[in-house]
C-alpha cells in the first residue's frame, strides 16, 4: 500500500503540508523539554540564574516535600489504577451481554462522568465529602457513625477520597476500550465453551481475560501516565492537604514555579524526573503495543 | 437455575453501581435548586431556590464572561487544531517518503512529554512572545490554545483515518486540473467529514475542560475561563453551596449536549487513539 513515488512534486508538497505542524511541535514540546533540562542545571530566584551542575538533583534527593509528593503520587497509582482497570473490565464484560435489559442506560451512566470537566467534578466531590457533606449526613442518618468523619482533614482518608473521585471519573472512559475490544470477539468461542461445559467464571478467565490482555495493558499504562500527572483533582479537592498528604508531583512543580518565590531551576529538576519516568513508561507501552500488532 | 440467579445478581450489582455512579449527578442537580443551608443540612429533594441561586450567581460572579472566554479559546483551538492536524495527517500519508516517515515518528514521541514538565519553559516562551506580539503573549486568548493546535495525537488520528481515504478521488481531481492544495480543500475535506467531527469533539472538550495551562497563562479575571472561575469559587471560605452547584451544573451543559447529540462520533474519536 505504500506509494513511494519519488517525484519532485511528492517531496515538495509533502514538506509544504507538514512544515507548519512540525515547527509548532518543535516549538511547543521539544524546545521546552530541552530548555527544561537546561533550566534544571541552573539555580536562583526569578531571572537571576546561574549554572550549578546537578545541585538541583542532589537537593531533590534530600527534599522531604518532593519525597512526599512522589510517594503520594505512587500511592494514588498503586491503588487507583488496578481498582479502576478491573472495574472497567468487569463493567465491559457485564454490559457486553446482548440479552441484558437496559444495557444502553447502564453504559451511558457509567460513561457519563468522563464527560465532566476535572475541576467541576472535583468540586462536587469536595462537597460530597465535606464535614457537613451528604456522605457524612447519610452515614449519620443510618447511625453508622455518630459524628462526621473528617474525610478531607485526615491524611489517609483524604487520599481515599481522591482515589474514589478519580475512579468515578475514569472507569467509564476505560470501559469503552474494553467494550470495543469485546465486540471483535467471535461469539462462537463462547458457544463452543458452553457446549464443553465451561461456566461463566471459567469462560472469563480462560477466554475473555487473555483476549483482553492488550487492552488491560493499554488502559493500565495510559492511566498510570495520567495519574503521574495528577493535578486538577488534588488542587481542587484538597489543595494538596492536609499537610502535604495529597500533594502530587505536578502540584509541587506548580507551587515551586508560581505559588512560592519562583524557583524555576529547582522546579525544572522536579519536572525532568517525572518526565523521565513517563517517557520510560510510554516507550515501554509503545514497544509492547507494537509487538501485539 | 444458576443461570437465572446469575442474571439476578448481575442486575442487582448493575443497579447498585448505577446508583453510585449517578449519585454525584443527582446531588449536583438537586443542590442547584436548594439554598446553601438546605444543601449543608443534607436535603436530597429538589427545592425552589434555583432562581435565587441564579441571581446570586449573576450578581457575584461573571459566569457569562467566563463562558464567552471559554468559547473563544475552545473555538479558536478547535478550528486551528483541525486545520493543522488534518494538513499534517494528509501530508504524512499522501506524500509519504522515508524522510516524512522519520519526521512523523519523531513527532509522535512528543506524546510522551508530560505537560507539567514543560509549563515553566512554555511560560517563559510566552513571556518572550509578549515582548514582540502582546496579542498572542501571556494573558491573551491565543496563549491559552496555541500550545495545543499542533498535537501528535491529532496528527496521528488524521493520518490513521487518511489511510482509508481513496486515492482514486485525488487522481480524478488532478485530471480535472485541481492544484495539490485544491485537492486537499475540495476533495479531502468534504470526504473526511466524520473524522473532522470526531476530532472537533475531542479537541473542543479538552479545551473547554483545560485547567492547568490557562491557570498559568490567563492572569487577569477578565480573561478567566469557566474552570478557572469554578476553581476560584470553590476555594472561597464561605461558599454559597446552592449557587456553587448551579455554576458547576451550567458549566457542564455544553459538554453534556455535545455528548448526547454526537455520541456516535464521540466514541469513534476516543477509540481513534488506540487504532
Which ipTM was obtained for this model? 0.90
Cell matching residue B55: 441571581
Torsion over CA: B241, B247, B250, B254 (sign): negative
* Residue that has been written with the C-alpha cell 473521585 in this structure: A165
For A107-144, the three-class secondary structure string (H helix, E strand, C coil) is HHHHHHHHHCCHHHHHHHHHHHCCCCCHHHHHHHHCCC
Query: Min CA distance, A286 vs chain B (Å)?
Result: 10
Judge residue B8's burial from the number of C-beta atoms within 10 Å of its C-beta, 0-12 exposed, 13-18 middle, 19 or more buried. exposed
Distance CA B176, CA A144 (A): 77
Residue A81: CA count within 13 A, CB half-sphere:
20
C-alpha cell at B275: 487504532
- Residue pair A246/A159 in contact by the 8 Å Cβ criterion: yes
What pLDDT, on a 0 to 100 scale, did the predictor assign at position A290?
63
Query: What's the gap in Å between the CA of B176 and the closest CA on chain A?
Result: 17
- The 10s digit of each residue's pLDDT in B48-100 is 889 999 999 999 889 999 999 999 999 999 999 999 999 999 999 999 999 99
* pLDDT surpassing 60 at residue A4: no
Is B231–A118 a contact, with Cβ atoms under 8 angstroms apart?
no
Domains and CATH numbers, chain A: 63-292 (1.10.3720.10)
- DSSP H helical segments within chain A, as ranges? 8-25, 31-40, 55-61, 64-95, 103-111, 118-128, 134-141, 155-182, 187-195, 200-203, 209-211, 213-228, 232-237, 249-254, 264-292
Does residue A10 sit at the B interface (CB-CB below 8 Å)?
yes
The rounded percent of chain B whose pLDDT value lies above 70 is 96
Which carries the bigger pLDDT value, residue B223 or residue A289?
Answer: B223
Average pLDDT over residues A124-150: 89
In this prediction, residues B234-243 reach a mean pLDDT of: 83
- Give the closest of B100, B146, B163 to A18, CB-based: B100
How would residue A191 be classed by pLDDT, with cut points 50, 70 and 90? confident
| Residue contact A9–B117, C-beta within 8 A | no
Q: Is B70 left (phi over 0), alpha (psi -120 to 50) or beta?
A: alpha
CB atoms within 10 A of CB A188: 8
Looking up residue B254, the CATH number of its domain turns out to be 1.10.3720.10
Domain membership of residue B110 as a residue range: 3-271
Whether the per-residue pLDDT at A293 is higher than 50: the answer is no
- Determine contact, residues A72/A246, Cβ cutoff 8 Å: yes
What are the two backbone dihedrals, phi and then psi, of residue A145, each rounded to the nearest 5 degrees?
-130, 155
Residues 198-237 of A with CB under 8 A from B: 200, 218, 225, 228-229, 231-232, 235-236
Place of cell 471559554: B70
Chain A residues inside the 8 Å CB shell of B90: 17
The residue ranking higher by pLDDT, A50 or A293, is A50
> Which of A10-14, A204-208, B14-18, B161-165 has the lowest average pLDDT?
A10-14
- What's the rounded mean pLDDT across residues B251-262? 89
Residue with grid cell 530566584, as numbered in its chain: A45
Phi, psi (rounded to 5 degrees) for A51: -70, 135
Q: What is the pLDDT of residues A243-284, one digit of tens each?
A: 999 999 999 999 998 887 888 899 999 999 989 988 888 888
pLDDT tens for A23-36 read 999 999 999 999 99
**Residue A143 scores a pLDDT above 50:** yes
Alpha carbons B178 and A106: distance in angstroms, whole number: 50
| Interval A152-162: pLDDT, tens | 999 999 999 99
| Span A34-59, average pLDDT | 87
Q: Quick check: B150 and A138 CB within 8 A? A: no
Mean confidence (pLDDT) of chain B: 90
- Closest CB to A119: pick one of B117, B230, B245: B230
- A285 close contact with B: CB closer than 8 A: no
Mean pLDDT along residues A153-177: 95
Mean pLDDT of chain A: 88
Q: Do A28 and B146 touch (CB under 8 A)?
A: yes
Phi-psi region of A176 (alpha: psi -120 to 50; beta: other; left: phi over 0): alpha
- What is the reported pTM? 0.89
Residue B275 has pLDDT above 60, yes or no: no
CB within 8 Å of B159: residues ≥ 6 apart: B88, B89, B92, B93, B104
The count of structural domains within chain B is 1
Q: What is the pLDDT of residues A192-231, one digit of tens each?
A: 888 888 888 888 888 888 888 888 988 898 898 889 899 9
| Residues linked to residue A209 through DSSP beta bridges, in sequence order | none
Q: Which residues of B touch A18 (CB under 8 A)?
A: 87-88, 91-92, 100, 103
Tell me the torsion sign for CA atoms B209, B214, B215, B220: negative
Amino acid at each position: 500500500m505504500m506509494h513511494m513515488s519519488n517525484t519532485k512534486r511528492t517531496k515538495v508538497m509533502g514538506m509544504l503540508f507538514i512544515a507548519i505542524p512540525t515547527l509548532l511541535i518543535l516549538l511547543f514540546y521539544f524546545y521546552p523539554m530541552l530548555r527544561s533540562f537546561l533550566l534544571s542545571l541552573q539555580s536562583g530566584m526569578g531571572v537571576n540564574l546561574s549554572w550549578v551542575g546537578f545541585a538541583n538533583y542532589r537537593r531533590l534527593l534530600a527534599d522531604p516535600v518532593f519525597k512526599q509528593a512522589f510517594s503520594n503520587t505512587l500511592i494514588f497509582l498503586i491503588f487507583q489504577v488496578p481498582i479502576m482497570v478491573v472495574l472497567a473490565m468487569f463493567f465491559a464484560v457485564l454490559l457486553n451481554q446482548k440479552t441484558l435489559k437496559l444495557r444502553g442506560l447502564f453504559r451511558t451512566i457509567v460513561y457519563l462522568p468522563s464527560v465532566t470537566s476535572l475541576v467541576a467534578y472535583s468540586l462536587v466531590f469536595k462537597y460530597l465529602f465535606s464535614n457537613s457533606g451528604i456522605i457524612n449526613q447519610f452515614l449519620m442518618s443510618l447511625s453508622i457513625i455518630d459524628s462526621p468523619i473528617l474525610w478531607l482533614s485526615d491524611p489517609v482518608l483524604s487520599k481515599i477520597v481522591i482515589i474514589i473521585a478519580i475512579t468515578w471519573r475514569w472507569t467509564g472512559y476505560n470501559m469503552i476500550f474494553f467494550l470495543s475490544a469485546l465486540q471483535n470477539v467471535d461469539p462462537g468461542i463462547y458457544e463452543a465453551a458452553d457446549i464443553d461445559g465451561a461456566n461463566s467464571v471459567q469462560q472469563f478467565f480462560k477466554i475473555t481475560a487473555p483476549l483482553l490482555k492488550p487492552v488491560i495493558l493499554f488502559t493500565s499504562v495510559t492511566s498510570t501516565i495520567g495519574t503521574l500527572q495528577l493535578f486538577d483533582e488534588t488542587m481542587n479537592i484538597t489543595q494538596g492537604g492536609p499537610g502535604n498528604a495529597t500533594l502530587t508531583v505536578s502540584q509541587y512543580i506548580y507551587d515551586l514555579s508560581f505559588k512560592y518565590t519562583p524557583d524555576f531551576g529547582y522546579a525544572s529538576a522536579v519536572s525532568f524526573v517525572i518526565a523521565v519516568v513517563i517517557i520510560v513508561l510510554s516507550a515501554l507501552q509503545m514497544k509492547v503495543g507494537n509487538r501485539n500488532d | 437455575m444458576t443461570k437465572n440467579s446469575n442474571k439476578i445478581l448481575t442486575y442487582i450489582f448493575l443497579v447498585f453501581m448505577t446508583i453510585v455512579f449517578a449519585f454525584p449527578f443527582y446531588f449536583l442537580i438537586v443542590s442547584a435548586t436548594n439554598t446553601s443551608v438546605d444543601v449543608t443540612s443534607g436535603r436530597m429533594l429538589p427545592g425552589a431556590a434555583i432562581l435565587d441561586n441564579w441571581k446570586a450567581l449573576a450578581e457575584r460572579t461573571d459566569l457569562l464572561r467566563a463562558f464567552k472566554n471559554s468559547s473563544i479559546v475552545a473555538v479558536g483551538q478547535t478550528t486551528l487544531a483541525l486545520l493543522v492536524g488534518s494538513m499534517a495527517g494528509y501530508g504524512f500519508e499522501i506524500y509519504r517518503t522515508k524522510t516524512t516517515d522519520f519526521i512523523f515518528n519523531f513527532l509522535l514521541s512528543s506524546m510522551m512529554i508530560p505537560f507539567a514538565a514543560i509549563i515553566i519553559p512554555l511560560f517563559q516562551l510566552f513571556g518572550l512572545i509578549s515582548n514582540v506580539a502582546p496579542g498572542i503573549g501571556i494573558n491573551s486568548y491565543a496563549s491559552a490554545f496555541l500550545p495545543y493546535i499542533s498535537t501528535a495525537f491529532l496528527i496521528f488520528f488524521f493520518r490513521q483515518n487518511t489511510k482509508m481515504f481513496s486515492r482514486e478521488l485525488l487522481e480524478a481531481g488532478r485530471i480535472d486540473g485541481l492544484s495539490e492544495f485544491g485537492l486537499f480543500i475540495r476533495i479531502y475535506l468534504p470526504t473526511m467529514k466524520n473524522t473532522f467531527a470526531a476530532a472537533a469533539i475531542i479537541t473542543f472538550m479538552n479545551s473547554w475542560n483545560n485547567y492547568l495551562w490557562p491557570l498559568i497563562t490567563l492572569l487577569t479575571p477578565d480573561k478567566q475561563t469557566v474552570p478557572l472561575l469554578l476553581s476560584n469559587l470553590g476555594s472561597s471560605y464561605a461558599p454559597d453551596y446552592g449557587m456553587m452547584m448551579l455554576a458547576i451544573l451550567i458549566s457542564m451543559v455544553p459538554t453534556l449536549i455535545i455528548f448526547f447529540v454526537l455520541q456516535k462520533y464521540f466514541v469513534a474519536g476516543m477509540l481513534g487513539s488506540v487504532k
